[in-house]
Structure 1
Amino acid sequence: MNISALQKERAKYQPKLPKSLKGAVKVVEGAKTESVADQKEIAALFPNTYGMPILTFEEGGKAAESAPVNVGVILSGGQAPGGHNVISGIFDGIKNIHPDSKLFGFLGGPGGLVDHKYVELTAEIVDEYRNTGGFDIIGSGRTKLEDEAQFDKGLEIAKDLNLNALVIIGGDDSNTNACVLAEYYARINAGVQVIGCPKTIDGDLKNEMIETSFGFDTATKVYSELIGNIQRDANSAKKYWHFIKLMGRSASHIGLECALKTQPNITLISEEIADKKLTLGEVVDYMAKVVAKRADNGDNFGVALIPEGLVEFIPEMKVLISELNDLLAEGTDSEKEFKMLRKSHRNEWVATHLTEISSSVFRSLPDGIATQLTLDRDPHGNVQVSLIETEKLLGEMVSTRLDEMKANGEYVGKFGTQYHFFGYEGRCAAPSNFDADYCYSLGYTASVLVAAGKTGYMSSVRNTTAPADKWIAGGVPVTMMMNMEKRHGHMKPVIQKALVELEGAPFKYFVSKRGEWAYNTDFVYPGPIQYFGPTEVCDLTTETLKFEQNK
């Protein structure tokens, strides 16, 4: 296996652990918990795993002889830096319980559990992947574990492998499904525990017990390096506005974190736009005014950060998308009529079949974007919002608005654009020291939860702005994070997504500075992730966590 010079050195890195995990662990139970909302409904759906206490691990436990444990691990959903270190932490943790413990990886995500596809993860295999990015040790997948037939198929292989527990590494949906699985196995006394680990670069799986999801730190550092490079180029060439779309369909945590790191001229925060009920036109006007004011200073260049899911947060666009989903729903008479039209006539036909307000919004869109909205559908027949080139939508609309302003004598500059979308570039990067340590601690914590006989819990590691040996490890009941939401027409229990808090310290600081950043050139150039060197450079945590914890 050919590996790079960096990978050879990173293989030697020993992730840091909280002090409580370095010896015999004492499990301390806190107060009983309840869900964040809809307590009666959640309690009724999870009678065996609801109301469990928060767990905290402390030093001073009594060393005891333990039997070997067999654990299965699943990587679920999109990749995030550090997944391999979660697996390394689980492996080392269960080997610490007993040298004969075994770890089995299910291949290709949750589907591997259902289809009985797995590999035993030996020391030789695990050692190859320590401190590396990606999920390629066993692969990931998006199969949802939702029905009892799947649970029963999974139980068959769990029994064949004599598994004590399954650890599911995933985001909010994957951990919701893990909790449903834990409840089912508890109800039928299957003897298989289910533990979750919080993964997602989007940063929307967080709360008081889960301070950050793993991968967020590394991904935002990668994106910020690229943004800084582009800002340096913009400040050198002084002739382009760079419109950069960043991952984050459901929340704008990535955009906010990257803005705090790099200080671009414009950063749109979807949650603020929804809260203020801004129209698409108002968003475009704001951006055009920043461009025009910088041009007054002779600065015909800049950088704008745009969250991937922005259009779903603009009320009029949300209504438009809903109407398009109904109008072009698969199998309807209107959809059949639409498909019979010549492509050049379709957008005008759509505009005449929408409500007056939505028709006006649709006609205001650049032709290419309007066409995207009518053609790119998911398997359910809905607009694929993540495929909308929001950066080009805004760039073209800002250009049109600036032409109008120039005609009115309100703008005297030149406007050239470059477009970028940073997504996959950050998902499999070699984890930062923070994520390498955090992920290893999450995995090791999962092994302690298994040894303690717990199920329906998610690994929790807190106090993460402190040095790693002062981190607080433990477990949080997944039901504590749940509420009821409508999904595909039915009310379902799901982990509540964490949006950017408009009253939170990170956003408030951003608001206090964005006026300066807009009109001045206050760019910050973070540079690449540093793995070797002084701790104040290499072990930096996110700006978001620093502000949230007042550090």
Structure 2
Amino acid sequence: MIKSPLQIARESYNPKLPEALKGTVKIVEGNKTESVADQGDISKLFPNTYGMPILSFEAGESAATDKAISVGVILSGGQAPGGHNVISGIYDGLKKLNPANKVYGFLGGPGGLVNNEYSELTDDVIDHYRNTGGFDIIGSGRTKLEEEAQFDKGLENCKALGINALVIIGGDDSNTNACVLAEYFLQKKSGVQVIGVPKTIDGDLKNEMIETSFGFDTACKVYSELIGNIQRDANSAKKYWHFIKLMGRSASHIALECALQTQPNVTIISEEVEANNMTLGEVIDHISEVVVNRAANGENFGTVLIPEGLVEFMPAMKKLISELNDILAHNEVAVSTMETNKERREFVVKKLSADMAEVFRSLPNSFANQLMLDRDPHGNVQVSMIETEKLLIDMVKAKLKKMKKAGEYKGKFSAQGHFFGYEGRCAAPSNFDADYCYSLGYTASVLIAAGKSGYMASVRNLTAPASEWIAGGVPITMMMNMERRHGAMKPVIQKALVRLDGAPFNALKRQRDEWAANTMYVYPGPIQYFGPSEVCDMPTKTLLEESK
């Protein structure tokens, strides 16, 4: 395999660790915990893992662990920068405890556990992937573990390999699976532990104990570089409006972070749209107003940042999508056999409530068709396939045409649509993510050595130097609530939305009117791996604002 000069240089990078993980580790138990909501339901569903204490690590004497253990690792869901360093941290942590410890990677995600597809990870393999992006060391997948037959088959495969613990590296749904699996294995007295690691570039897996999910830092830096490049082009050519859709199905953390890094003219925050009960028409009015005002100053160009999941946050659209999810979940076979989109639309309209049928009929056919696309494995509409940026461009163009006829607009409007998604998911991790992910993996190895199960690795105090980070474990049940999935109520980790009373959003709110009227673009440039710490090791603007 031919490596780039950067890849070769990054191989020698040694990720920084919290001080407590550099020697022997003492585990300190904190208070007992409860779930964020629905405590009665969650406690009944998870009797073996509910109410466990928060754990923190300190330098000190640890219990001796002479017995060699084997650990299975699973990468679950979409890719996020730093996954390879999580596995490196797990590997190094376990080997430090006992060189005879083994690590197996299940191939292609959770499906590899069920299908017994695996590979033993050795020094040669791990060293090849340190500080690299992607999940290609073992691959990932979106198989959902939800049936006892899957649990039993996975347990059988673990026993055959002598595996004592599983580490599931994933987002909220994947870590929900980890919690369910941990509970089942404890119920069966199987002797197999399950530990989760918080991954998602969307940034919606966070709480007081999980300050950020890994990959968010790198992805936002990649997107911000691209946005900055586009803004420099816009400011040079002075003739295009760029509508940029960014990943973030269930929350607008990426759009918010990228806005704070690049200072665009318009940033739509889905949570604000929902809180203000805004319609699609009102969003169009807002964007159009900014376009008109800038044109009056002779600036017929600009940038608009759009969260991927915007349509799901508009109250009417959210209700429509919820009904569609239920209808399509219960009529999957019937809908899949229909030959045309027209047939599907007519079938769906008959099953929608009266008010939602009216909303559905009012949509352009192309947009309505996109709302009926196949659902993801968790039953959700695949919003990344909905071309929201093109819909907004077309509607703004139509609005401006009317305003021009009425003499309310005299500028020129030419727009380009972009969607930044895959560009950021497998980037080489920033120093922050390289360090954070390695620390998370190392933390997972300590939790395993301590015999813990049903915990998620936690590393906090992330705006401080890495040596001052606080490592530990948080019970996954602490993050859970009950939500409707596939037409039924199920326990899931509660998604963290952008808080409209939070410091990051307020930082945007204070400045966005000025950014809308004036061209105040910031050009972050590419991720820097070598140089001053204030350039190379900076955390996200979100973390910095939240730490004030």
Asked if residue 281 in structure 1 is aligned to residue 281 in structure 2, the reply is: yes
Which residue does the alignment assign to 1:257? 257
Asked if residue 378 in structure 1 is aligned to residue 375 in structure 2, the reply is: yes
Deviations 1:13-38 (A, max 9, x none): 00000000000111000111111111
Secondary structure of the residue that 2:104 maps to in structure 1? strand
Deviation at 1:320, TM superposition (A): 3.8
Could you say if the C-alpha distance between residues 327 and 199 of structure 1 is closer, same or farther in structure 2, counting changes exceeding 3 Å?
closer
Deviation at 1:348, TM superposition (A): 9.6
Which residue does the alignment assign to 1:453? 451
Query: Is the contact between residue 366 and residue 397 of structure 1 (CA under 8 Å) also seen in structure 2?
Result: no
Query: Is the contact between residue 273 and residue 314 of structure 1 (CA under 8 Å) also seen in structure 2?
Result: yes
Query: Is the contact between residue 327 and residue 334 of structure 1 (CA under 8 Å) also seen in structure 2?
Result: no
Letter of the 1:472 partner, please give it: I
Which residue does the alignment assign to 2:523? 525
Could you say if the C-alpha distance between residues 131 and 51 of structure 1 is closer, same or farther in structure 2, counting changes exceeding 3 Å?
same
Query: Is the contact between residue 366 and residue 393 of structure 1 (CA under 8 Å) also seen in structure 2?
Result: no
C-alpha distance in 2 between matches for 1:279 and 1:187: 48
Secondary structure of the residue that 2:182 maps to in structure 1? helix
Letter of the 1:396 partner, please give it: D
Which residue does the alignment assign to 1:247? 247
Question: Structure 1 residue aligned with 2:485, among 476, 487, 490?
Answer: 487
Deviation at 1:323, TM superposition (A): 5.8
Deviation at 1:321, TM superposition (A): 3.7
C-alpha distance in 2 between matches for 1:323 and 1:497: 20
Query: Is the contact between residue 169 and residue 175 of structure 2 (CA under 8 Å) also seen in structure 1?
Result: yes
C-alpha distance in 1 between matches for 2:522 and 2:303: 12
Could you say if the C-alpha distance between residues 322 and 473 of structure 1 is closer, same or farther in structure 2, counting changes exceeding 3 Å?
closer
Query: Is the contact between residue 74 and residue 167 of structure 1 (CA under 8 Å) also seen in structure 2?
Result: yes
C-alpha distance in 1 between matches for 2:336 and 2:218: 46
Letter of the 2:235 partner, please give it: N
C-alpha distance in 2 between matches for 1:29 and 1:94: 22
Could you say if the C-alpha distance between residues 120 and 338 of structure 1 is closer, same or farther in structure 2, counting changes exceeding 3 Å?
closer
Once the two structures are overlaid, the 10-residue window that deviates more, 325-334 or 55-64, is 325-334
Query: Is the contact between residue 335 and residue 344 of structure 2 (CA under 8 Å) also seen in structure 1?
Result: no
Could you say if the C-alpha distance between residues 356 and 189 of structure 1 is closer, same or farther in structure 2, counting changes exceeding 3 Å?
closer
Which residue does the alignment assign to 1:216? 216
Letter of the 2:422 partner, please give it: Y
Q: Which runs of 5+ in 1 are unaligned?
A: none
Letter of the 2:275 partner, please give it: D
Asked if residue 48 in structure 1 is aligned to residue 42 in structure 2, the reply is: no
Query: Is the contact between residue 326 and residue 486 of structure 2 (CA under 8 Å) also seen in structure 1?
Result: no
Secondary structure of the residue that 1:231 maps to in structure 2? helix
Deviation at 1:62, TM superposition (A): 4.7
C-alpha distance in 2 between matches for 1:323 and 1:479: 28
Which residue does the alignment assign to 1:308? 308
Asked if residue 67 in structure 1 is aligned to residue 67 in structure 2, the reply is: yes
C-alpha distance in 1 between matches for 2:490 and 2:265: 40
Which residue does the alignment assign to 1:21? 21
Query: Is the contact between residue 366 and residue 396 of structure 1 (CA under 8 Å) also seen in structure 2?
Result: no
Asked if residue 159 in structure 1 is aligned to residue 156 in structure 2, the reply is: no
Deviation at 1:124, TM superposition (A): 0.5
Once the two structures are overlaid, the 10-residue window that deviates more, 136-145 or 376-385, is 376-385
Deviation at 1:366, TM superposition (A): 4.5
- Matches for 1:130-141 after TM superposition, within 5 Å: 130-141=130-141
Query: Is the contact between residue 80 and residue 214 of structure 2 (CA under 8 Å) also seen in structure 1?
Result: yes
C-alpha distance in 1 between matches for 2:498 and 2:303: 21
Query: Is the contact between residue 329 and residue 486 of structure 2 (CA under 8 Å) also seen in structure 1?
Result: no
Q: How many equivalent pairs are there? A: 547
Letter of the 1:188 partner, please give it: K
Query: Is the contact between residue 447 and residue 473 of structure 2 (CA under 8 Å) also seen in structure 1?
Result: yes
C-alpha distance in 1 between matches for 2:112 and 2:334: 40
Deviation at 1:315, TM superposition (A): 1.3
Which residue does the alignment assign to 2:463? 465
Asked if residue 188 in structure 1 is aligned to residue 185 in structure 2, the reply is: no
Which residue does the alignment assign to 2:7? 7
C-alpha distance in 2 between matches for 1:407 and 1:349: 39
C-alpha distance in 2 between matches for 1:42 and 1:416: 52
Could you say if the C-alpha distance between residues 299 and 491 of structure 1 is closer, same or farther in structure 2, counting changes exceeding 3 Å?
same
Secondary structure of the residue that 1:460 maps to in structure 2? strand
Letter of the 2:98 partner, please give it: H
Deviation at 1:385, TM superposition (A): 3.1
Could you say if the C-alpha distance between residues 282 and 360 of structure 1 is closer, same or farther in structure 2, counting changes exceeding 3 Å?
farther
Q: Which runs of 5+ in 2 are unaligned?
A: none
Letter of the 2:272 partner, please give it: E
Query: Is the contact between residue 325 and residue 486 of structure 2 (CA under 8 Å) also seen in structure 1?
Result: no
C-alpha distance in 2 between matches for 1:379 and 1:174: 13
Could you say if the C-alpha distance between residues 233 and 357 of structure 1 is closer, same or farther in structure 2, counting changes exceeding 3 Å?
farther
Secondary structure of the residue that 1:305 maps to in structure 2? strand
Query: Is the contact between residue 27 and residue 57 of structure 2 (CA under 8 Å) also seen in structure 1?
Result: yes
Could you say if the C-alpha distance between residues 547 and 357 of structure 1 is closer, same or farther in structure 2, counting changes exceeding 3 Å?
same
- Matches for 1:57-456 after TM superposition, within 5 Å: 57-62=57-62, 64=64, 66-322=66-322, 358=356, 361-362=359-360, 365-366=363-364, 368-373=366-371, 376-378=373-375, 384-456=382-454
Secondary structure of the residue that 1:476 maps to in structure 2? strand
Once the two structures are overlaid, the 10-residue window that deviates more, 143-152 or 394-403, is 143-152
Secondary structure of the residue that 2:3 maps to in structure 1? coil
Letter of the 2:412 partner, please give it: K
C-alpha distance in 1 between matches for 2:473 and 2:380: 37
- TM-score relative to the length of structure 1: 0.94
Letter of the 2:213 partner, please give it: S
Could you say if the C-alpha distance between residues 95 and 419 of structure 1 is closer, same or farther in structure 2, counting changes exceeding 3 Å?
same
Query: Is the contact between residue 109 and residue 142 of structure 1 (CA under 8 Å) also seen in structure 2?
Result: yes
Secondary structure of the residue that 1:242 maps to in structure 2? strand
Query: Is the contact between residue 46 and residue 183 of structure 1 (CA under 8 Å) also seen in structure 2?
Result: yes
Query: Is the contact between residue 246 and residue 421 of structure 1 (CA under 8 Å) also seen in structure 2?
Result: yes
Q: Aligned residues: percent identity?
A: 71
Deviation at 1:41, TM superposition (A): 1.1
Could you say if the C-alpha distance between residues 436 and 328 of structure 1 is closer, same or farther in structure 2, counting changes exceeding 3 Å?
closer
Deviation at 1:64, TM superposition (A): 3.6
C-alpha distance in 2 between matches for 1:487 and 1:466: 38
Query: Is the contact between residue 238 and residue 301 of structure 2 (CA under 8 Å) also seen in structure 1?
Result: yes
Could you say if the C-alpha distance between residues 110 and 379 of structure 1 is closer, same or farther in structure 2, counting changes exceeding 3 Å?
closer
Could you say if the C-alpha distance between residues 449 and 285 of structure 1 is closer, same or farther in structure 2, counting changes exceeding 3 Å?
same
C-alpha distance in 1 between matches for 2:383 and 2:76: 22
Query: Is the contact between residue 365 and residue 397 of structure 1 (CA under 8 Å) also seen in structure 2?
Result: no
Could you say if the C-alpha distance between residues 336 and 371 of structure 1 is closer, same or farther in structure 2, counting changes exceeding 3 Å?
closer
Secondary structure of the residue that 1:119 maps to in structure 2? strand
Could you say if the C-alpha distance between residues 350 and 159 of structure 1 is closer, same or farther in structure 2, counting changes exceeding 3 Å?
closer
Deviation at 1:490, TM superposition (A): 1.5
Deviation at 1:370, TM superposition (A): 3.9
C-alpha distance in 1 between matches for 2:543 and 2:536: 16
Question: Structure 1 residue aligned with 2:539, among 529, 541, 549?
Answer: 541
Could you say if the C-alpha distance between residues 293 and 475 of structure 1 is closer, same or farther in structure 2, counting changes exceeding 3 Å?
same
Secondary structure of the residue that 2:55 maps to in structure 1? strand
C-alpha distance in 2 between matches for 1:329 and 1:57: 44
Deviation at 1:340, TM superposition (A): 7.0
C-alpha distance in 2 between matches for 1:473 and 1:242: 41
Deviation at 1:101, TM superposition (A): 0.7
Could you say if the C-alpha distance between residues 72 and 327 of structure 1 is closer, same or farther in structure 2, counting changes exceeding 3 Å?
closer
C-alpha distance in 2 between matches for 1:126 and 1:336: 43
Query: Is the contact between residue 326 and residue 487 of structure 2 (CA under 8 Å) also seen in structure 1?
Result: no
Letter of the 1:21 partner, please give it: L
Deviations 1:433-462 (A, max 9, x none): 000000000000000001111111000000
